Chain A
């Protein structure tokens, strides 16, 4: 599979990036170089191999327990009661590039 300029534009769009013309040219080159190396994975027959998304469901858990029982320890005490301390508004907004004291402010979403 060869990545084209068009693919790069499409993926940049999905990733909420714009990229300059130079960056796009470089990206075509770099992605092809990396994916060329990645293609070696196709040598492996994996149709009977389960995908592994994470480690935490395999190790350090009580294997005699199944499903959600196995992760019961992960329930947070503060969430069980439906109560959870959250940041006060001013703290939550303190890092915002633009805010009005109650809300985050962003440019207009709907054009008239």
Chain B
């Protein structure tokens, strides 16, 4: 799994590529927690390059959305492949996470405040 972080206004987009599972989820958690700890609470997880996510990845998403919302922000997903979306639906995550077709849509959903 590879990650990179892009800053657009107040919104941090974490681009994720590869497999999110028991072997890699801790690394993703560190990246997302790092953003929250740095005061960046409006997060987009770009899932466009994610091959699959297991429950380990779902735990990371849940912990991050709780952390972001408790600080007045949010975690929103973008570019999720249909197979991966099926995993989110099966797990009940589409009822608690906002999913957008593109990263641009997800970033703009935060209101587009520029700093």
Q: Does B associate with A? A: no
Could you tell me which B residues sit within 8 Å of A by CB distance?
Answer: none
Residues of A within 8 A of B (CB): none
